[in-house]
């Protein structure tokens, strides 16, 4: 982890509700092994490989929250055109 990762999204397999992946915004950098995220993990995991980025889909399938909000905005605008 690096201080520049603040503002990016992180995806942690198994750390979400019922063992689903947790995708959350990195809100602050603490150390090379610690960051603060916007959403708490629901499940404790060990040895998971986290993915960090600004990709529209960190897991390759599901849109991140910011991409979903962009898609919803685009749909709303399209409905009023």
pLDDT tens series, the chain, 81 aa: 788 888 888 888 899 999 888 888 889 999 988 899 999 999 999 888 888 877 666 666 677 676 777 666 655 544 554
In this prediction, residue 43 carries a pLDDT of 92
β-strand partners of 12: 22
In this prediction, residue 44 carries a pLDDT of 92
In this prediction, residue 42 carries a pLDDT of 92
Spell out the domain ranges in the chain: 3-80
In this prediction, residue 63 carries a pLDDT of 72
In this prediction, residue 53 carries a pLDDT of 77
Nearest to 56 by CA among 68, 72, 39: 68
In this prediction, residue 3 carries a pLDDT of 86
Specify the DSSP class assigned to residue 57.
-
């Amino acid at each position: 982890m690096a201080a520049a990762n603040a503002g990016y999204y992180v995806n942690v397999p198994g750390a979400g509700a019922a063992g689903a992946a947790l995708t959350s915004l990195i809100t602050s950098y603490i150390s090379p092994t610690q960051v603060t995220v916007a959403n708490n993990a629901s499940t404790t995991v060990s040895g998971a490989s986290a993915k960090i980025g600004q990709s529209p889909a960190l897991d390759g399938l599901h849109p991140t929250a910011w991409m979903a909000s962009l898609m919803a905005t685009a749909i709303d605008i399209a409905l009023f055109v």
